[in-house]
Amino acid sequence: MARPLSLRNIIPSTLKEFGLEEKAHKYSILTSWPEIVGESVAAVTIPMKLERGVLHIRVANAVWKYELTMRKSEILRKIHQKYGELSVSDIHWK
């Protein structure tokens, strides 16, 4: 009887086979936003989309937008550490 296959091995090859690797990568960046920025920042922001290397984030108000603009390089560094430098090149706050 054959050993059962691990999902850890099946999912990446299936995503590649159907051409969904890039979409899955983008989705994982969006869904891990609270882990990247912390719960307090995640509570006042909503990741909207990742398009052409630009991460678009909706911000609750102008004060937070200013604060996050000042922290952009720190947030980008965290994203690059987790997902690689080619994953996100810029962040636009809306």
Please check the confidence at residue 1 and state whether its pLDDT lies above 70: no
| Strand ranges, E, within 1-94 | 45-51, 54-59, 90-93
Confidence of residue 4 (pLDDT cuts 50, 70, 90): confident
The domain ranges of the chain are 8-93
Query: Quick one: pLDDT at residue 85?
Result: 81
Confidence of residue 91 (pLDDT cuts 50, 70, 90): very high
CATH, domain 8-93, list 3.30.300, 1.10.3470, 3.40.50, 3.30.70: 3.30.300
For the whole model, what pTM was predicted? 0.78
pLDDT tens by residue, 10-64: 777 776 677 666 676 777 889 999 999 999 999 999 999 999 999 999 999 999 9
